[in-house]
């Protein structure tokens, strides 16, 4: 067994041989990949394994559903050119920062400027009677302030709320920011509704401080401004009323704890009755520190540019905010060595709906009508048949864009029969070309994820399905645990997947 260590730290700038053991036991994210909680993020090790074996240095790798940019991160580290496409504006911004993070000194300097301007003013809104120190947490039971915490390292001070504390809160509660209105659909799966507004999800104090932070960041002339904006979006969940309080930990094993612990924002927009209000500055600072730990010196930064720059090899990567089908159709035929992508898995995660807070804070307006997804919000009309129609369009265009030695690797999992149909049609569409279905292996997560599909009928893991021109490049895939030339279902055809 090899000794596991991160392969993508900023200090490493050399070729590395990714083995099947890295694929079988991926590590948790660190550095620049860890600072933002984007939905459905996949482990980097198997993506790097695929890229290294199916492409050469300088080849073009494309992900039409780039998400948080993990594929691009691996591609650029391996000296491949990368094109990332995503309809989600915040995903495009995040991918750009992941591929080209600001240098450590630049990020720290920009953060210091924000700190000098905004930190004291924000902390004034949380001041307590305990030595004039700001609170770090407030424990709420619905509309009742139950406890005030001041946590510093291992020291934890718990205070009873006073009249002054409640008055301080009430002073800011009417506050409403100048952010664009939130745009939600009726979607019970993620607890969203058109009536949901900023005041439902955040205290007035939090909104006032979030807006102050955003104004301060945007007043900066630093090249790190985009990165700091993303740190703010990454912290929004912990700044909201959606941070649940954990009580009774250990009760299932008979050692129930009396402690109350801080949970986190999970998928969806639930507001638990027992929840925390957390100091906005502390939430923001933690995300910045996490990004600082993953940034590196200027010399190691990749060069971003337009798609034209990428094709002319004057840029290392390009990120495009657009519909996958429309953007991919504009790429020259035969120009891509590898399409490595993780498209939306049927109805597992409605990405634009879940990203609404992030986009709204930054003033971005997603094109919901063009999203390829299955949504439980009936108003959107995003059903499985519409999903398959759009995915068939994607598959037909993708084949044309590959060169003669090209390959397509699709990460996928769905619990219903119909959601697999586009892959069966995809296999038919490549007939007559030089590529065909070659096999699949399970894509294991580095940790359990709340967006993994544990509903009845779901497969136990995601799968990578590989369509390639020849088996020659795939010899090393045969050693992967559970590699098979069959589809990742017990029956013989994709269309025969278990219907639930």
pLDDT of residue 490 exceeding 50, the answer is no
Identify the residue with better confidence: 30 or 406: 406
pLDDT at 430: 66
Among 31-40, 168-177, 424-433, the range scoring the smallest mean pLDDT is 424-433
* Tokens representing residue 213 in the block: 């932070």
Cβ atoms 198, 271 nearer than 8 A = no
For residue 145, with 0-12 CB atoms within 10 Å meaning exposed, 13-18 middle and 19 or more buried, which class applies? middle
Distance CA 324, CA 351 (A): 14
pLDDT at 70: 95
Give per-residue pLDDT as tens, 149-182: 999 988 999 999 999 999 999 999 999 999 999 9
List the end-to-end C-alpha distance of the chain, in Å, as a whole number.
Answer: 39
Provide the mean pLDDT of the chain: 87
pLDDT of residue 299 exceeding 70, the answer is no
Give per-residue pLDDT as tens, 271-288: 999 999 999 999 999 999
Highest mean pLDDT: which range of 151-165, 423-437, 444-458: 151-165
pLDDT at 482: 87
Give me the domains of the chain, ranges plus CATH numbers: 20-100+304-356+382-496 (3.40.50.150), 104-294 (no CATH)
CA distances to 64, 305, 427 from 331, rounded to whole Å, are 11, 15, 22
Average pLDDT of the segment spanning 26-32: 83
- Tell me whether strands 260-262 and 436-443 are parallel, antiparallel or unpaired: unpaired
pTM, 2 dp: 0.90
Average pLDDT of the segment spanning 370-379: 95
pLDDT at 10: 42
Count the Cβ atoms, other than its own, within 10 Å of residue 418: 17
Give per-residue pLDDT as tens, 61-117: 999 999 999 999 999 999 999 999 999 999 999 999 999 999 899 999 999 999 999
Among 40-44, 261-265, 378-382, 426-430, the range scoring the smallest mean pLDDT is 426-430
Cβ atoms 360, 428 nearer than 8 A = no
Cβ atoms 194, 186 nearer than 8 A = yes
pLDDT at 434: 74
Distance CA 376, CA 440 (A): 29
pLDDT of residue 312 exceeding 90, the answer is yes
pLDDT at 265: 87
Residue 456: half-sphere exposure toward Cβ, Cα within 13 Å:
2
Q: Name the band, by pLDDT with cuts 50, 70 and 90, for residue 314.
A: very high
Pinpoint the alpha helices (H) of 430-468. none
Average pLDDT of the segment spanning 301-315: 93
Among 76-85, 223-232, 299-308, the range scoring the smallest mean pLDDT is 299-308
Distance CA 310, CA 83 (A): 8
Identify the residue with better confidence: 381 or 448: 381
Return the closest-CA partner of residue 189 out of 347, 384, 346.
347
Average pLDDT of the segment spanning 27-54: 89
Return the closest-CA partner of residue 408 out of 435, 389, 433.
435
Highest mean pLDDT: which range of 49-53, 466-470, 483-487: 49-53
Give per-residue pLDDT as tens, 4-20: 444 444 433 444 567 88
Distance CA 292, CA 109 (A): 11
Distance CA 229, CA 252 (A): 41
């Amino acid at each position: 067994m090899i000794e596991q260590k991160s392969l993508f730290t900023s200090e490493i700038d050399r070729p590395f041989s990714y083995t099947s053991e890295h694929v079988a036991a991926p590590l948790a994210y660190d550095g620049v990949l860890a600072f933002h909680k984007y939905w459905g993020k996949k482990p980097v090790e198997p993506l790097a394994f695929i890229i290294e074996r199916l492409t050469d240095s300088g080849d073009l790798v494309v992900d039409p559903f780039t998400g948080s940019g993990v594929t691009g991160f691996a591609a650029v580290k391996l000296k491949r050119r990368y094109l990332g496409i995503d309809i989600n504006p915040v995903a495009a911004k995040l991918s750009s920062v992941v591929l080209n993070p600001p240098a450590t000194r630049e990020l720290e300097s920009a953060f210091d400027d924000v700190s000098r301007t905004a930190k004291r003013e924000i902390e004034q809104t949380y001041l307590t009677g305990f030595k004039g120190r700001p609170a770090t947490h407030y424990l709420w039971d619905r509309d009742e302030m139950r406890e005030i915490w001041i946590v510093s390292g291992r020291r934890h001070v718990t205070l009873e709320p006073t009249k002054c504390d409640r008055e301080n809160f009430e002073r800011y509660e009417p506050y409403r920011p100048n952010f664009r209105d939130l745009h939600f659909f009726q979607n019970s799966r993620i607890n969203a509704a058109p009536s949901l507004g900023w005041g439902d999800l955040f205290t007035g104090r939090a909104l006032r401080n979030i807006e102050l932070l955003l104004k301060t960041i945007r007043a900066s002339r630093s090249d790190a401004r985009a990165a700091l904006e993303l740190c703010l979006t990454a912290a929004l969940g912990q700044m909201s009323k959606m941070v649940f309080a954990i009580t009774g930990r250990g009760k299932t094993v008979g050692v129930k704890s009396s402690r109350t612990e801080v949970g986190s924002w999970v998928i969806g927009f639930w507001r638990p009755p027992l929840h925390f209000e957390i100091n906005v500055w502390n939430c923001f600072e933690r995300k910045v520190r996490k990004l600082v730990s993953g940034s590196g010196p200027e010399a190691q930064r990749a060069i971003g540019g337009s798609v034209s720059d990428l094709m002319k090899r004057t840029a290392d990567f390009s990120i495009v905010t657009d519909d996958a089908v429309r953007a991919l159709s504009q790429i020259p035929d035969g120009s891509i060595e590898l399409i490595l992508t993780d498209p939306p898995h049927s109805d597992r995660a409605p990405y634009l709906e879940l990203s609404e807070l992030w986009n709204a804070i930054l003033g971005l307006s997603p094109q919901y009508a063009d999203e390829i997804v299955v949504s439980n919000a009936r108003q959107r009309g995003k059903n499985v048949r519409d999903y398959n129609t759009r995915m068939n369009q994607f598959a037909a265009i993708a084949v044309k864009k590959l060169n003669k030695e090209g390959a397509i690797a699709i990460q996928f999992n769905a619990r219903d029969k119909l959601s697999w149909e586009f892959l069966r049609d995809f296999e038919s569409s490549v007939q007559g070309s030089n590529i065909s279905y070659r096999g699949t292996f399970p894509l294991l997560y580095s940790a359990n994820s709340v967006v993994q599909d544990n509903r009845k009928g779901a497969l136990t893991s995601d799968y990578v399905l590989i369509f390639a021109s020849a088996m020659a490049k795939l010899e090393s895939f045969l050693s992967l645990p559970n590699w098979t030339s069959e589809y990742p279902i017990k029956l013989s055809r994709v269309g025969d997947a278990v219907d639930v």
